[in-house]
Amino acid sequence: MKNVCPYFHLSYRFIVFFVFAFILFPEISNSQDLLTSRRSSYYTFICKLNDNDAEKLIRENKIDFDERLLQTVVDSFPTDSQYTRILSPGNYLFMHVSKNQLRYKYLNISTFDINVLNNNRDLIIEVYDKETSAIIPDAIVKFNDRNIRFDDRTKTYILPKHKKDGSLKIQLGNETLFKDVEFGYYRKPPFLQRVAFGFPLKYVAWPIFNSYRRVLYGKSDNSIKYLWPKAKGYIAFNKPKYLPGDTVKVKAFIVGKHGKAFNGKVKLLLKESRLITSPSSELIEMWPTVSGSYIYQFPLADTLRPNRNYGIVIVDAKTGKPLLYDRFPIEDYQLDEIRYEVRKNKETTYQNGEPVMFYASGKDANGLNVLDGNIGITIKTSNTNRFYGESVFVPNTLWEHQQRLDPVGETKISVPDSVFPRAAFSAGVSIKFKNSNNEIHEKSFWFKYDGKQKVFDITIRGDTLHCGLYGKYKQQGAQGVYTAFNNRDTLSVRQITFPFHEKTNTNATRFVFAIGDTAISFDPSEIEDSISTYHYQEGDTIYFGLVNPRRLNVRYNIYKDMTKEVEKGNCKQLDWFAHNPEKASYSISYQYKWAGMEKNIKNNIYSYGKNLDVKISQPRKIDPGQKVNVEIDVSDINDEPVEGVNLTAGAITAKFERKGFPNLPYFGKPIKSDKYYDYVGMEKPVTITQKNLTDYDLSRFNMDTITWYKMMYPENGIYYNYDSTDLNNAQFFAHLRKGNYPIEIKMIYIDDELVYYSGANNSYSGYSIIVKEGFHHIKIRARTRVYTLDSILFKKGFKLDLSLDVNNLPKNVKTKKTVFKLSEDEKALLKQKMIWVKNNFRGGTAYLWQGNKVYSFNYSHSRYYLLGPFNNDTIHFAVKDYYQRTFIPEFGQEYTIEKDQIKITEQTNNQYFNWYKSFTKNNIDPGQMAFPISAVKLVSEKSKCDSFEFSPNKRIESESMGELKIRYSGDSIFQIARLICYNDGYKPKYFSGRTTKFNGLEKGYYQLSLITGHSNVLVKDSILIQAQGVNYYLLGGDFKNLSGSFQYGQQDSTKSAWQGYLPSIHLNPIVYDPRGNSAISGKVFDSGTHEPIPFANVVLESHE
């Protein structure tokens, strides 16, 4: 790959860049808006790392940022954009400044990549070509500077039995790739632990350990105890479940520790649960019928409750110890004479043009097809999320169909293509089965359908990826683009010719095909990898096979007795066998890649030398009432017949669900476990992404030309920034910095008057303080220091953001130490300036203002708000859309402000004046403006809309009604929607502007008008509403200002234009506005229909 962006020579490219930067971005004047100032570097630099720096970054997660590194810059691009050029192979670092951090991202560009494979034992590295996914055998692979050779049999690089973390270095030609590898938990315990808890010390270690746990965690609750029988054997029942009143037949076979049959006297108990304390009743005391076997039957009493599990406990009559336990259910069930099944021909989403088919079948108790069955199919739509075209109708009931069941095989049900609308939706299928006895069974399921016109036909057959075209694109030799991705890494991009056929890149997680302006993404994980295995032992030979229809590269290891490796390799098909006269156990571990995901599968082939093989010979078909012989042959592992076997056999009807067999004890040689089971190796990503800025970074990235950075890193220790405002006042706030970190400001005084306290709940509104214009004295109280400045100029119409670097203060800034906590004088001052307001307006927005100082606060979990500082003037308080109050403050008091009264109580809790109660303001954003009095909104737009009388919009089930759903493709925001039905006397209906779905509309033609708050209207005529479904319409175009020509009222049925009307105005009495103004409110409505007219222009020409 060639770098298409050559750069200047290293010796002078930085000079050229910085001269260019200073030309484009000169020193910004103080009038720049600080709030919208850049918070990042103009450019992102791309540095090419040498092998040493890249290896250090991968191994140690750090890198040295110095002049040497920046001399390797190969390209740059605007930080606010995406990098689109192609880099040559190598290791790169993308660096840019964001706020007070230097952020960087490591990126490797290479023509190859690796897979770290896991067999829970070894470090296995697979090196492959990104473009073709072919295995690369001639790479130089090192792990922690140790060479790893290529293994020809497995086609991988293997480091056997390795379990330490480290870094990989892979070299291929001039390319070098670095990866960090970490390993999961290794299950083998430490040596001392194995000795202490092994034989014979375990008899001492475990009691001591348990005593320590009881002291540390307390004595465990032993009040709940369960039955845990110690004997081996099984209990078998004659049915999977029982009806009330049935007879239970039970057989138990009991053996001792070494497999010897138990022949003692036992008791059979019936228990309600496994709890030792649960009620039980004794059924019988009995001796074995034959050696080790106990057989008994009993009827279920009427007192036993149905729909519960009951247990059989076999107890040694001599010692009283439980030997075996098992459960059986009692249910009031009814078995079906006929079983019906239905399935889809596709589990994923159906695309437009694909056949939608279902397969149904009905079988009787003998597994024969039902000859007199009928099926009724109903498909209903739901959750339509997309539609294609300007108008689409999606009916509630998509399709109804009747069909007879085929007497042979499955019945195919084909849904016609013509019933599917051009929309994406979910559909519920209900299939009712009915036979000649009028027995009805119902099955239901869901499927998804996407009606978008299908362009691409993508599938994987065998090991080949196929992509063809549909419709207008279906022509031989059509050109397109193919892209393969591995997560975010691009494996391949190239021009292709359709139809496309290529061996599937198994490292790809996503394929993208494009032709013209149409593209589709295909996820191969939706296709099964289809790999399966089989294994068995026959005589002295053990067999293992791998079925691999997609011909994937499969790497495998075969171990004898779980630890000794006897075979390894790489294959696409495997048929392996070995002579195994000693009946050893084997373990097979195999790994492969599919859809970019590593699959690691392990199969254990246990050789149970004491197991018996049971073969049952019976007729395939047995008619009702017919008697047949069933032969049972029992042989050992050498296929020799065995005599004297204790055999338990039974038969149940196929109407029952399958029930598992009881677990049988095994007395042969113990099977060894795999001690490497939990051993996992994986690739570790680079996590370090940022570091604090230095003066060197600021200059190299040209950050000292940006106003925000001048504030954060003030040159000469102080920086003044004046931002113009739209208000007729002066504003101010201060910022303290110490290197990269802000210092919290606790209090601010202007001319010795307290104007800011960080412990107040309204302090976030105080990031801009309204002040008097002119020169003033400022005192800033931090945690341990006080800073004072004289003759600071506040300008009318401007906000001053003042930034101080406490490590480099100028001479005109005086500082002195102070105590960490508030002094008694400071606490007394706060009590004279602050008030508490009880939070009894949860969920609403509230305003509190005094003069031109306004504070707003929204919902919080605080019980009280500490507000201030204030002076002795009147305070106004309002809860948006609810109520308003005014009062003269009594400082240090607690206020409960309600709609009809104000309660004042004394506040004695001084903890609110402690530092730990104040809010930490380390992320104050400079440039914020004060909240102006003109921004106080006592009534919200929503409240105004709520006062407008809208039509009901409830869903109504009616055969003559339908629904309308709209989507607007423009950028305008509408507040009122109006619908007029041509068939209903042109009576209009009004809806909120947030409405996109209109319910309960009679079928017919409508006109829809979308109206903004500025008399702009978008009109759509001839909207057809069809009943029993959802009518989708796409609305486009711009809103037009039709003020004067578009009217609200009735339309003459004989004319296409709207007739004019004379509006009427009703005025409410003048009300008092707590901000000191008088207000006139009222309604404007149609004089004929008396309907309200929204957004009317009302002009008050004169008043006295």
Whether residue 488 is found in the same domain as residue 419: no
Give yes or no: residues 805 and 914 share one domain: yes
Interior angle at CA 226, CA 221 and CA 231, nearest 5: 135
Mean pLDDT over 585-607 rounds to 87
pLDDT category at 917 given cuts 50, 70, 90 is very low
Whole-angstrom distance, CA of residue 477 vs CA of residue 455: 15
Based on the domain organization, do 779 and 923 belong to the same domain? yes
* 974 close to 1018: Cβ distance less than 8 angstroms: yes
672: confidence class by pLDDT, cuts 50, 70, 90? low
Does residue 666 belong to any structural domain of this protein?
A: no
82 and 25 fall within a common domain: yes
Which residue matches tokens 């929607």?
Answer: 977
842: which residues sit within 8 A by CB, 6+ positions away? Answer: 859
Of 155-159, 204-208, 1084-1088, which gets the smallest average pLDDT? 1084-1088
Same structural domain, 959 and 928? no
On whether both 146 and 249 belong to a single domain, the answer is: no
Domain assignment present for residue 1096? The answer is: no
Tell me how far apart the alpha carbons of residues 797 and 410 are, in angstroms, rounded to a whole number. 83
Whether residues 709 and 719 share a domain: the answer is no
CA distance 725 to 731: 9
The pLDDT assigned to 643 comes to 87
pLDDT digits (tens, 9 = 90+) for 61-104: 777 776 677 678 899 999 888 888 889 999 998 888 888 888 88
Does the pLDDT of residue 914 top 70, yes or no? no
Give residue-wise pLDDT tens across range 488-508. 788 999 999 999 999 999 999
The rounded mean pLDDT for the chain is 81
- pLDDT for 401: 95
The stretch 878-907 carries a mean pLDDT of 85
> Could you give the CA distance from residue 432 to residue 266 in angstroms, rounded to a whole number?
53
Domain stops at, among 330, 358, 389: 330
* Confidence at residue 21, expressed as pLDDT on a 0 to 100 scale: 32
- Of the pLDDT bands very low, low, confident and very high (cuts 50, 70, 90), residue 920 is very low
Residues 719 and 771 in one domain: yes
Domain end, chosen from 873, 905, 935, is at 935
Which class for 1104: exposed (0-12), middle (13-18), buried (19 or more C-beta within 10 A)?
A: exposed
Q: Please give the average per-residue pLDDT across 641-663, as a whole number.
A: 80
265 and 299: one domain? Answer: yes
The pLDDT assigned to 1078 comes to: 46
* 406-415, 620-629, 725-734, 1010-1019, range with the lowest pLDDT: 1010-1019
pLDDT digits (tens, 9 = 90+) for 865-887: 888 899 999 999 888 777 888 99
Any bridge partners for residue 342, and if so which? 360
Domain that holds residue 910: 715-935
Counting DSSP H helices and E strands in the chain, the numbers are 9, 76
For 674, which DSSP code?
Answer: -
Which CATH number belongs to the domain containing residue 298 in this structure?
2.60.40.1930
Domain count, the chain: 7
Residue 593 CB contacts under 8 Å (≥ 6 apart), including other chains: 115, 126, 506, 507, 552, 553, 599
34 and 172 housed in the same domain = yes
Q: For 24-38, 492-506, 553-567, 956-970, which range has the lowest pLDDT when averaged over its residues?
A: 24-38
Residue 624 counted as domain residue:
no
Position 862 in a domain: yes
Three-state secondary structure of 297-332:
EEECCCCCCCCEEEEEEEEECCCCCEEEEEEEEECC
Residue with the bigger pLDDT between 835 and 653: it is 835
Which residue's structure tokens are 């605080």?
862
Domain membership of residue 19 (yes or no) is yes
* Domain stop point among 713, 736, 766: 713
Q: Is 933 a residue whose pLDDT tops 80?
A: no
Q: How much is the pTM?
A: 0.65
Residue 910 lies in a domain: yes
**Which run of H or of E encompasses 738?**
strand 730-738
* Residue 134, in any domain of the structure: yes
- 1094 belongs to a structural domain: no
Q: Out of 3-17, 61-75, 229-243, pick the least confident.
A: 3-17
Q: Are residues 913 and 764 in the same domain?
A: yes
Please tell me whether residues 1026 and 1049 are part of one structural domain: yes
208 three-state secondary structure:
helix
417: domain CATH number? Answer: 2.60.40.2550
Domain with 1011 in it: what CATH number?
Answer: 2.60.40.1120
Q: Which among 696, 683, 688 has a CA at the least distance from the CA of 62?
A: 688
pLDDT of residue 1081: 57
